[in-house]
Amino acid sequence: TQLLEQSPQFLSIQEGENLTVYCNSSSVFSSLQWYRQEPGEGPVLLVTVVTGGEVKKLKRLTFQFGDARKDSSLHITAAQPGDTGLYLCAGASPGDKIIFGKGTRLHILP
């Protein structure tokens, strides 16, 4: 059974600080996706990483896919209250259903 473990489960930090959240698996995925969910809404895709070692940047967010395509990280620089939300990673391979981690709940204090 493929599993994705996310850490930490909860993170509460001050505005302006940096943070990293992790997504780990013992399985190889063709791609790794990161979603953010805000209260009362469905998750929204932030980024997809496909190549081992790939790094993608989205403003203050940096996403990295592990060389072996089993893990990923999300680094946020100078966090802002608008970054608050549930961050979900998901692993995908062709023909298989997407597997979601349980998420990291991030709270940025103003």
Please give, one letter per residue, the 3-state secondary structure of 20-36: EEEEECCCCCCEEEEEE
- Sorted by sequence, the CB contacts under 8 Å of residue 43 that are 6+ apart come out as 35, 36, 37, 86, 88
Closer to another protein by Cβ: residue 1 or 14:
1
CB of 98 to another protein, least distance (A): 6
Closer to another protein by Cβ: residue 18 or 55:
55
CB of 64 to another protein, least distance (A): 18
CB of 5 to another protein, least distance (A): 11
CB of 22 to another protein, least distance (A): 15
Closer to another protein by Cβ: residue 44 or 55:
44
Closer to another protein by Cβ: residue 75 or 105:
105
| Residues of the shown chain interacting with another protein in the complex, contacts defined by CB under 8 A | 30-31, 33, 35, 40-45, 48, 50, 86, 88, 90, 92-95, 97-103, 105
Residue 60, sorted as left (phi over 0), alpha (psi -120 to 50) or beta, turns out to be: alpha
Spell out the alpha helix ranges (H) of the chain: none
Q: Cα angle vertex 17, ends 16, 20, to 5°?
A: 135
